[in-house]
Amino acid sequence: MKRRRLVRSGSSQPTGGRLRRRWRFFRTAAGREPVREFLDSLPEDDAAAVAAAMTEVRKAGRGHPDVNQLQGDIWQIEIDGKRVIYRLLFAEEGRGGEVLLALEMVNKKWQAARSRHIELAKRRLADWRERGGRGSTRRRAGPP
């Protein structure tokens, strides 16, 4: 399946006195990126809506009106797709929260499994931190 480049990582260097945020996708020890895989499976219109929302959050951070805290360091943004509402669970990492780490993505109809998804996001965040943060999110060499 062809991958769409949804979000471009930017520099974390301050620009005009502001710290630039960038999205990173959690990567398992085996090299999988579950959120990216979920995004790659979306219809193009929904993928575009997610990319736009991620760009808005990159600019505004937790100050974005659609961002809500779930538990501890886990935050979510609700994104309207064409027929579905998605939830992207993420954490702010790095000095000043310049890294927005995408941990889990589900459709909104998750009430029965809500705690399971939050716990999964918390485990992924702990794993990312334990493996050294940034180093665990580097992309492999080769074709996307």
CATH of the domain at 35: 3.30.2310
Q: Is residue 36 part of a domain?
A: yes
Q: Is residue 115 part of a domain?
A: yes
Q: Is residue 100 part of a domain?
A: yes
> Domain tally for the chain?
1
- Three-state helix/strand/coil letters over the chain: CCCCCCCCCCCCCCECCECCCEEEECCCCCCCCHHHHHHHCCCHHHHHHHHHHHHHHHHHHHHCCCEEEEECCEEEEEEECCCCEEEEEEEEECHHHCEEEEEEEEECCCHHHHHHHHHHHHHHHHHHHHCCHHHHHCCCCCCC
Q: Is residue 4 part of a domain?
A: no
Q: Is residue 105 part of a domain?
A: yes
Q: pLDDT tens per residue, the chain (144 residues)?
A: 444 444 443 333 344 445 688 999 999 999 999 999 999 999 999 999 999 999 999 998 888 999 999 999 999 999 999 988 899 999 999 887 889 999 999 987 766 668 889 999 999 999 999 988 754 444 433 333
Residue-number span of the structural domain to which 37 is assigned: 22-133
Q: Is residue 14 part of a domain?
A: no
Q: Is residue 26 part of a domain?
A: yes
